[in-house]
Chain A
Amino acid sequence: GAGVSQSPSNKVTEKGKDVELRCDPISGHTALYWYRQSLGQGLEFLIYFQGNSAPDKSGLPSDRFSAERTGGSVSTLTIQRTQQEDSAVYLCASSPGGQRGGYTFGSGTRLTVV
């Protein structure tokens, strides 16, 4: 597609359930980032991929969070046993990689844990 696509746009889930968030980057973009945006906290880095590998997972808040990327394209961020503090907007961005180009962001998934 022309832009970065994220689904679902909104997700309400019960505490303790697992959720999967999806990111479809711009075709050909090798770098893919996940961020968490919450009020007063700005954009918190979670993880990034270069191709299918994740050189830096340091931002994942706990072992309940995991992410994968297949075929150098779509990425899924999985949150297991969700907690109320996981409620936030999860943003995905992609980039051509290397030092070329800026980053294009998706519109995000708003996750609400009740």
Chain B
Amino acid sequence: AQRVTQPEKLLSVFKGAPVELKCNYSYSGSPELFWYVQYSRQRLQLLLRHISRESIKGFTADLNKGETSFHLKKPFAQEEDSAMYYCALRGEKLVFGKGMKLTVNP
């Protein structure tokens, strides 16, 4: 079975602070992991995927197969990063975690 766990529902930080959004997964096969973001009143959009190894908007995420984690990190959060963030796993199908709301305060 595939499962994605985002243990925290809410995270509130001040501008310039580092952020880490946690994601753990469960899958017996070779996973493909994604982070999606949904800004207020906008549609869900891809932020990054582990196979690309990109940094988008200053965010990075490293797949740790030993810890079955794919945590999203940014060293200096900006107010415009405030949004819902969803971790997703593609195995036989694409499944999502329950999401985390990030609020970056001025």
Contact = CB atoms under 8 A, between A and B. Distances in A.
Nearest to A103: B94
Interface in A55-114: 55-56, 91, 93, 95, 99, 102-103, 105-108
Select the residue from B32, B34, B86, B93 with max chain A CB neighbours within 10 A: B93
Contact of B32 (A42, A56, A99, A108): A99
Given A102-B46, A102-B49, A108-B43, A45 B93 contact: yes
Nearest to B84: A42
A108 B88 CA distance: 18
Contacts of A40: 9, 98
Contacts of A35: 96
Contacts of A95: 94
Interface range on chain B: under 10, 10 to 19, 20 to 34, or 35 or more?
Answer: 20 to 34
Contacts of B46: 102-103
Secondary structure at chain A's binding surface: helix, strand, loop or mixed? strand
A35 B6 CA distance: 18
Interface string B36-55: 10000001111001000000
Nearest to B99: A42
B19 interface: no
B89 to A, nearest CB: 11
A43 interface: yes
Interface in B45-95: 45-46, 49, 86, 88, 92-95
Interface of B: 6, 9, 32, 34, 36, 43-46, 49, 86, 88, 92-99
Across the A-B interface, the 5 shortest Cβ-Cβ residue pairs: A42-B98, A43-B96, A105-B44, A102-B46, A42-B99
11 contacts: A40-B98, A42-B6, A42-B98, A43-B44, A43-B88, A45-B93, A99-B32, A102-B46, A103-B46, A105-B43, A106-B43
Given A43-B86, A43-B96, 8 more contacts: A42-B96, A42-B98, A48-B93, A99-B32, A102-B49, A103-B94, A105-B45, A106-B43
